[in-house]
Structure formats: C-alpha cells, structure tokens
Structure 1
C-alpha cells in the first residue's frame, strides 16, 4: 500500500516550487520574508514531512499569497 501522506507531501512540495517560481522569488527570499529558516522551505519543497500551520503561514507571507493558495492543487487519491 502506498503512503498517502508521503505522496501528498511530495505533491505539496511540487506545487510550492511552482508558486515560488511564478512569484519570481527564490527560497532565501521566501524564507526571509516569512521569517523562517531556509531549511524549513527546503524540507517543504522536498516533501520530507508534514509541515506545521506556523510554517504554512510563514510560507504564505513569504510568497505574498493567501494560505489557501498553498493548497490549491489537484491530488489524486488511489481507490485501492
């Protein structure tokens, strides 16, 4: 059985990467504006683990988007 959480974290990271690029920012800028460590951004990008609400809010601030935009991507659930 696939690890659904891990798959979601990876999909979230891919979406985050696209958001960062679409805003013309880099990891260091997002981290600085969001007042978090760059390693937290990299962990989210790499889908290493679920991130906290605090990190979500910091990422949104750093990207200058509403938090809901971080979750605005398609995710396909297997029906296995």
Structure 2
C-alpha cells in the first residue's frame, strides 16, 4: 500500500504541475492568491508531501478552478504490485 500512495502522490504532483502550466501561471501566483506559502505547492509537485485538503482548497482558489479538477486525472490502480490478490 505504501508504494500505491507514493505512486498516486507522484501522479497528483505531475497533474498539479500540468494544471499550473495550462493556466499560464506559476507556483508563486497560485500560492499568493490562495494565501499559502509557495513551498507547500512545490512540495506537492515534487511528491514530498501528500496533498491535504487544507492545502488543496487554496491551490484550487489560486488556479481559479473547482476542487474536483485537481483530482481529474488518470491513475491505474490495477498496476501490478498495487492490487491485492
């Protein structure tokens, strides 16, 4: 299960980075609008921290998107080694 969480956290960070780029903004701007420190966003992007709701709400605000968009990415939970048999 630890590997699954790590893989999901990494994929989430990649998706967040892509969203920031797609919205033609940067981490500092997103953090500033959301009133959080930019290092919190960087740590999610680099998969150092698991995304927490208390950080994701300001990130969504900073991007001007609904929370559900942050979770709208493909993740294969059936990858070998992740599915319990």
What TM-score, normalized to structure 2?
0.88
Q: Which has the larger radius of gyration?
A: 2
Superposed displacement of residue 48, structure 1: 1.1
RMSD, aligned α-carbons: 1.4
For 1:1-80, what aligned pairs fall within 5 Å after superposition? 3-77=3-77, 78-80=79-81
Distance 2:44 2:33 in 1: 16
Aligned length: 80
1:46-79 deviations in whole A, cap 9, x for unaligned? Answer: 1112122110101100000000000000001224
Following the alignment from structure 1 to structure 2, what is the Cα–Cα distance between the partners of residues 2 and 38? 26
Q: TM-score when scaled to structure 1? A: 0.93
Gaps of 5+ in 2: none
Q: 5+ residue gaps in structure 1?
A: none
